[in-house]
Amino acid sequence: MRNFDYTKLKDRTWDSKILGYVAQIHEYKGRQQTLLKQQPLELERLVEIAKVQSTEASNEIEGIRTTNTRLKQLCADKTAPRTRDEKEIMGYRDVLNTIHESYEYIPLRPSYILQLHRDLYRYSEKGIGGSFKNTQNYISATDAAGNNFVLFTPLPPYETPGAIEKICDSYNRVIDTQEIDPLILIPVAIHDFLCVHPFNDGNGRMSRLLTTLLLYRAGYHVGKYISLESKIAKNKDLYYNALAASQGGWYEDQDDPTPFIKYLLSVILAAYRDFDERMELVSDKLPAIEVVRRAVESKVGKFTKTDILEFCPTLGKTSVESSLKQLVDEGTLIKHGKGRATFYTRA
Q: Find the CATH number of the domain harbouring 301.
A: 1.10.10.10
Residues 93 and 120 in one domain: yes
pLDDT mean over 114-120: 98
**Structural domain includes residue 339:** yes
Q: Is the pLDDT at 283 greater than 80, yes or no?
A: no
The pLDDT, as a whole number, for residue 284 is: 64
Out of 251, 281, 311, pick the residue that ends a domain.
Answer: 281
In this structure, are 295 and 318 located in the same domain?
yes
- 3-class secondary-structure state, position 242: helix
Q: What percent of the chain has pLDDT over 90?
A: 71
pLDDT the model gives residue 175: 97
What separation in angstroms does the CA of 18 have from each of 7, 26, 51, 175, 304? Answer: 18, 12, 28, 19, 33
Over residues 150-169, the mean pLDDT reads: 95
Contact (CB, 8 A) for 281 and 312: yes
Q: Does any domain span residue 217?
A: yes
Res 307: pLDDT: 85
Boundaries of domain holding 301: 285-346
DSSP states of 222-281? GGGTS-HHHHHHHTHHHHHHHHHHHHTTTTTT----HHHHHHHHHHHHHHHHHHHHHHHH
Residue at 1 is within a domain: no
What one-character DSSP code corresponds to residue 228? Answer: H
Q: What is the CATH number of the domain that holds 89?
A: 1.10.3290.10
Q: What pLDDT score does 130 carry?
A: 96
Query: pLDDT value at position 58?
Result: 93
d(CA 7, CA 277): 37
Least confident of 79-93, 209-223, 274-288: 274-288
Indicate whether 292 belongs to any domain.
Answer: yes
- Number of Cβ within 10 Å of residue 46's Cβ equals 22
Average pLDDT over residues 222-226: 93
145 and 183 co-located in one domain: yes
41-88 pLDDT per residue, tens:
667 878 888 899 899 999 999 999 999 889 989 998 899 999 999 999
Give me the pLDDT at residue 73, please: 92
Displacement of CA 45 from its chain's centroid (Å): 18
- Residue 227 CA: distances (Å) to CA of 44, 95, 177, 261, 269: 14, 15, 30, 18, 12
Tell me whether residue 18 is in a domain: yes
- Whether the per-residue pLDDT at 228 is higher than 90: the answer is yes
d(CA 274, CA 252): 39
Higher pLDDT among residues 109 and 306, named by residue: 109
Looking at the fold, whether 277 and 292 belong to one and the same domain comes out as no
- Do 217 and 267 fall into the same domain? yes
How confident is the model over 217-238, as a mean pLDDT? Answer: 93
Structural domain count, the chain: 2
Q: End of a domain among 237, 261, 281?
A: 281
Q: Are 157 and 290 within one domain? A: no
Q: How far apart (Å, rounded) are the C-alpha atoms in residues 303 and 280?
A: 20
Please report whether residue 49 resides in a domain.
yes
Q: In this structure, is residue 17 part of a structural domain?
A: yes
Res 6: pLDDT: 96
Instruction: Examine the domain organization and report whether 147 and 45 are in the same domain.
Output: yes
Do both 171 and 214 map to the same domain?
A: yes
Q: What is the mean pLDDT of residues 218-237?
A: 93
Query: At 40, is the pLDDT very low, low, confident or very high (cuts 50, 70, 90)?
Result: low
Res 215 pLDDT > 90:
yes
Check pLDDT > 70 for residue 39: no
275 with 327, same domain: the answer is no
Question: What are the φ/ψ torsions at residue 201 (nearest 5 degrees)?
Answer: -155, 155
Amino acid symbol at 86: E
Distance CA 116, CA 103 (A): 12
Domain boundary among 225, 254, 281: 281
Q: Is residue 190 part of a domain?
A: yes
The pLDDT mean for the chain works out to 91
pLDDT digit string, tens, across residues 314-342: 788 898 999 999 999 999 999 999 888 89
Quick: pLDDT tens for 93-112. 999 999 999 999 999 999 99
Do residues 289 and 277 share a domain? no
Mean pLDDT of 147-166: 93
In the prediction, which pLDDT does 311 show? 78
311 and 233 housed in the same domain: no
> In this structure, are 291 and 197 located in the same domain?
no
Question: How confident is the model at residue 162, as a pLDDT?
Answer: 96
